[in-house]
Amino acid sequence: MIEEKNILNYETVDLDEQEGALVILDQTKLPGEVKILRLKEQKDIWQAIYLLQVRGAPAIGVAAAFGLYLAAKDIRADTWEEFYPSLHKAKEYLNSSRPTAVNLSWALNRMEKVAEENKEKSIPEIKELLQKEALEIKAEDVWMCRKIGEYGLRLIKDGDGILTHCNAGQLATSKYGTALAPIHLGRERGMNFKVFCDETRPLLQGIRLSSFELMADGVDTTVICDNMASQVMRNGWVDAVFVGCDRVAANGDACNKIGTSGVAILAKYYGIPFYVLGPTSTIDMSIPRGEEIVIEQRLPEEVTEMWYQQRMAPQGVKVYNPAFDVTSHELISGIVTECGIARPPFRESLREVFRKSRNGGRDGVDG
Active site residues: 246
The conformation of residue 348, written as its DSSP 8-state character, comes to H
Rg of the chain on CA atoms, in Å: 20
Q: Could you tell me which of 45, 49, 12, 300 has the C-alpha nearest to residue 175?
A: 12
Give the Å distances, CA to CA, from 54 to 58, 62, 236: 10, 10, 35
* C-alpha–C-alpha distance, residues 277 and 275, integer Å: 6
Q: Residue 123 belongs to what H/E stretch?
A: helix 123-153
Yes or no: say if 233 and 163 are a contact pair by the CB < 8 Å rule.
Answer: yes
Under 8 Å between Cβ of 155 and 343: no
> How many residues are there in the chain?
367
Q: Is 256 within 8 Å of 245 (Cβ atoms)?
A: yes
